[in-house]
A and B are shown apart, each in its own frame.
Chain A
Amino acid sequence: MVEMELLFKISVLVLTLLPTAALLVWLERRLLGFWQERYGPNRVGPFGILQSLADLIKILFKHDWIPPFADKPLFVLAPLIGALAVMMSFVVVPLSPGWMISDSHIGLLFFLAMTSLAVYAVLLAGWSSNNKYALLGGMRAAAQTICYEVFMGIALLGVVILAGSFRLSDIVEAQQEWWFVIPQFVGFAIFMIAGIAESHRLPFDLPEAETELTGGFHTEYSGIKFALFFLGEYLGIMLISMMTTTLFLGGWLGPWLPPLVWFLLKTFVLICFFILLRASLPRPRYDQLLAFGWKWMLPLALVNLLVTAALKLSGGT
């Protein structure tokens, strides 16, 4: 039964992803503590590893409050869209040769489509809260996404040209000789920057910039709905790390160890890199962020695409 196997894989994936996202919150707080020479949460369980569980229990018992001035249906829908759109993207990620839920021939496009839907969560949350800080956060998210999504797609086209396919398993197989991070280093850097912006992580977390917007788009959210936003954010980090691994770091390829272990190792290193970025970089001003996107990243991505296409046509690489 193919269907039963598929259902089994999907449930295993979901049951692994959710606790891992919760564990990531703890990992991030511990690593930040380590880099900033303090302890971080270390009380609940060994090394504080159960901190997220304690937080979850607390958040579940909180009053699920909807502000009376909010646009109620949208207010409830927004966190669901965010978490679901990111979860859907995991469908196309090839973890190892034997572990793919959908090896679709438009896998890469599906990923891009889902990331472009995920921003509606932030936008709708900001708008439906009917609160000026939330609205500012939502508008920032919209402008930031329009800008960074464009060159994220263009940067990925370099990889597509080299691999000759949108199918993610084909892209991994095409990296047998060398990982795409070498011939496509510019594309790799641009994709990483755009990925951080898409998942609204520091230094590009302007939609929630707590120092100026109190909490940005989730100012009015609390309890389980807030937890869903949080879940979406951490799943987003995992997704971007997994996609970077698949597209640029050779996916499951590697000597000695089994493919799945290689994939998870590379993803883990990237996640730690994401957290290190948060610990070390300050937030840019909003107009600087947009100017950087349109004036530097976009032309750079276009030049990268042009050069890659020219080399491919002339028979090089």
Chain B
Amino acid sequence: MIVQGLFYTAALVALLASLLVVTSKHAVHAILYLVVSLLALSLCFYLLGAPFAAALQIIVYAGAILVLFVFAVMLFNISQEDVRREDQWLDWKAWVGPTLLVLLLLAEWVLFIELAANPSGSEVVLVDARAVGARLFGPYLLAVEIASFLLLAGLVGGYHLAKKLPEESQ
């Protein structure tokens, strides 16, 4: 009972924080809400019986958002003017399209749950590090390899962009 209460609280926090990520007028505040949202998600993972995934969620994403933070400060040069411009962009008309799409998704989802009617129950199965590793190097090996290719491409691209050009070509 307590666990369920905790889960729904964390889920609510994650939802609200995600909404605030989109609606914040200030880039840095948006990033901070993203951190809160990911922390709440991590708690959800933990309560669902996946402590390993929960810990990785914090370690990996907290680090990733740090990079995002540096970029936000470096590139956006945030000022009062930006906040005003952002304010204009967040007009109610801009919300019509996304809201419709999300409602469509929600309707589909509700329909799916109704049709499937799968009483998945609430028994918690513990997924530890060994289980995650076995899955990653078993059934999901291809996905892992594809992801690693993607990361390699990013690495090579970053190296190319940051490389010092030879003197004569400058």
* Min C-beta distance of B51 to chain A, whole Å: 5
Q: Which of A109, A139, A143 contacts B52 (CB 8 A)?
A: A109
The reply on B70 being an interface residue by CB < 8 A is yes
* Min C-beta distance of B39 to chain A, whole Å: 8
The reply on B143 being an interface residue by CB < 8 A is no
The reply on A131 being an interface residue by CB < 8 A is no
Contact residues in A for B59 (Cβ distance below 8 Å): 109, 112-113, 116, 153
Q: Using A105-B51, A127-B73, A135-B73 as known contacts, say yes or no to A117 and B66 having CB atoms under 8 A apart.
A: no
Contact residues in A for B35 (Cβ distance below 8 Å): 120
- The residue on B at minimum CB distance from A73 is B29
The reply on A106 being an interface residue by CB < 8 A is yes
Inter-chain CA distance A149–B28, complex, in Å, is: 22
Q: Is the CB of B70 within 8 A of A142?
A: yes
The reply on B153 being an interface residue by CB < 8 A is no
Q: Using A104-B51, A109-B52 as known contacts, say yes or no to A123 and B58 having CB atoms under 8 A apart.
A: no
Q: List 21 A-B contacts (CB under 8 A).
A: A74-B32, A106-B51, A106-B129, A109-B52, A112-B59, A113-B55, A113-B58, A113-B59, A116-B58, A116-B62, A117-B58, A117-B62, A119-B66, A123-B69, A142-B66, A142-B67, A142-B70, A145-B63, A146-B63, A146-B66, A153-B59
Interfacial residues of chain B within 24-74, with CB under 8 A of chain A in the complex:
28, 32, 35, 51-52, 54-56, 58-59, 62-63, 66-67, 69-70, 73-74
Q: Which of A104, A110, A116 contacts B63 (CB 8 A)?
A: A116
The reply on A75 being an interface residue by CB < 8 A is no
Residues 55-72 of A, flagged 1 when their CB comes within 8 A of B and 0 if not, give 000000000000000000
Contact residues in A for B129 (Cβ distance below 8 Å): 106, 166
The reply on B128 being an interface residue by CB < 8 A is yes
Interface centre among A113, A139, A142, A149 (most CB of B within 10 A): A113
Interfacial residues of chain B within 62-114, with CB under 8 A of chain A in the complex:
62-63, 66-67, 69-70, 73-74
Contact residues in A for B52 (Cβ distance below 8 Å): 106, 109
Contact residues in A for B128 (Cβ distance below 8 Å): 105
Chain B residues packing against A (C-beta within 8 Å): 28, 32, 35, 51-52, 54-56, 58-59, 62-63, 66-67, 69-70, 73-74, 128-129
Chain A residues packing against B (C-beta within 8 Å): 74, 104-106, 109-110, 112-113, 116-117, 119-120, 123-124, 127, 135, 139, 142-143, 145-146, 149-150, 153, 166
Contact residues in B for A113 (Cβ distance below 8 Å): 55, 58-59, 62
Inter-chain CA distance A146–B35, complex, in Å, is: 16
Inter-chain CA distance A123–B74, complex, in Å, is: 13
Taking A123-B69, A139-B70 as known contacts, 17 extra A-B pairs with beta carbons closer than 8 A to each other, sorted by chain A number, are A104-B51, A106-B54, A106-B55, A106-B129, A109-B55, A113-B58, A113-B62, A116-B66, A120-B35, A135-B73, A139-B74, A142-B67, A142-B69, A146-B63, A146-B67, A150-B63, A166-B129
Contact residues in B for A127 (Cβ distance below 8 Å): 28, 69, 73
Q: Is the CB of A139 within 8 A of B55?
A: no
* Min C-beta distance of A197 to chain B, whole Å: 14
* Min C-beta distance of A69 to chain B, whole Å: 12
Contact residues in B for A116 (Cβ distance below 8 Å): 58-59, 62-63, 66
Q: Which of B28, B56, B67, B70 contacts A109 (CB 8 A)?
A: B56
Q: Using A109-B59, A113-B59, A116-B59 as known contacts, say yes or no to A123 and B51 having CB atoms under 8 A apart.
A: no
- The residue on A at minimum CB distance from B65 is A120
Inter-chain CA distance A105–B55, complex, in Å, is: 11
Q: Is the CB of A149 within 8 A of B51?
A: no
Contact residues in A for B63 (Cβ distance below 8 Å): 116, 145-146, 149-150
- The residue on B at minimum CB distance from A135 is B73
Contact residues in B for A153 (Cβ distance below 8 Å): 59
Inter-chain CA distance A269–B8, complex, in Å, is: 46
- The residue on A at minimum CB distance from B72 is A127
Nearest 5 CB-CB pairings of A with B: A109-B55, A113-B58, A116-B62, A106-B51, A106-B55
Inter-chain CA distance A112–B128, complex, in Å, is: 17
Contact residues in B for A119 (Cβ distance below 8 Å): 66
Inter-chain CA distance A266–B151, complex, in Å, is: 41
Contact residues in B for A150 (Cβ distance below 8 Å): 63
